[in-house]
A and B are shown apart, each in its own frame.
Chain A
Amino acid sequence: MITLGHFLALSAVLFAIGLFGVITRRNLIAVLMSVEILLNAAAIAFASVAAYKDPVFFSGQLFALFVMVVAAAELSIGFAILLNVFRHTGSAATDVVEEMRG
């Protein structure tokens, strides 16, 4: 029998993997991909809690839906900014945007 704990554990491990990627990756594209993994881990947690704890109102599953919408919006804007960084500096690595360091 699959329990809520199974899904939450999977979500936690997935989140940890994404967190590892966000910190260790040096290419901005790879960082954005890791952020996508983080958002998906959160969506899995929302959807599974909704399925087990809230079988009438589905609020968590609707929340997972909105997480996907925000993820898509974030990714498109992030890639547009990345394209500008690439045109300015000729590279997509994280350490080329050091001018904003402060």
Chain B
Amino acid sequence: MSVLGFAILAGLVLAGALVVVLAENIVHAAVALAFTFFFVAGLYVLLGSPLLAVIQFAVNAAAIPILTLFIIMTTQSRRVRPAAGVFYLVAGVLAVVFLAGLWAYLGAPQEAFRPLSPEGLGARLLTVTLLPFEVASVLLLLAMVGAVVLARRREA
């Protein structure tokens, strides 16, 4: 729980995200996405939630970049053309406006941190939030079937 660890992880996450957003080679962006999510898993460990960290690692840091790379190779879109300057202007203004909200947190009260127990998280997941849990599994099934149907090659 050192500030140094948090600073290193946060710096790596932000650097990875910047590469994802700015890289001209889209393969580099996909690999940077994997690293970004890997370091976000480290942040979850820091937050005392190993369950979230493992799921983040397995789903977001492994499965999603691989799927992304598959799609990149399928569509053969290795590079991205730069957008018009207007878009950069609008995006920059929006990002700065959003970041202005940061000032609200600077005066937040300083609180001590208590790590959580993953046992409680799992027990709560399967009792109180059992219905959303089941709905989420049905959603995943629907997404899987929907993706297969949408991506299928149509004959005739």
Contact = CB atoms under 8 A, between A and B. Distances in A.
Contacts of B128: 57
A32 B63 CA distance: 15
Interface string A31-74: 01110110010001001101110011110011011101111111
B114 to A, nearest CB: 5
A24 B88 contact: yes
B38 to A, nearest CB: 11
A68 B116 contact: no
A13 interface: yes
- Give the interface size bracket for B toward A: 35 or more
A61 B91 contact: no
Contact of B147 (A29, A40, A64, A79): A79
Interface of B: 1, 3, 6, 10, 13-14, 17-18, 20-21, 26, 29-30, 33, 36-37, 40, 43-44, 46-49, 51-52, 55-56, 59-60, 63-64, 67-68, 71-72, 74-75, 77, 80-83, 87-88, 90-92, 94-96, 98-99, 101-102, 105-106, 108, 110-116, 120-121, 124-125, 128-129, 132, 136, 139-140, 142-144, 146-148, 150-151
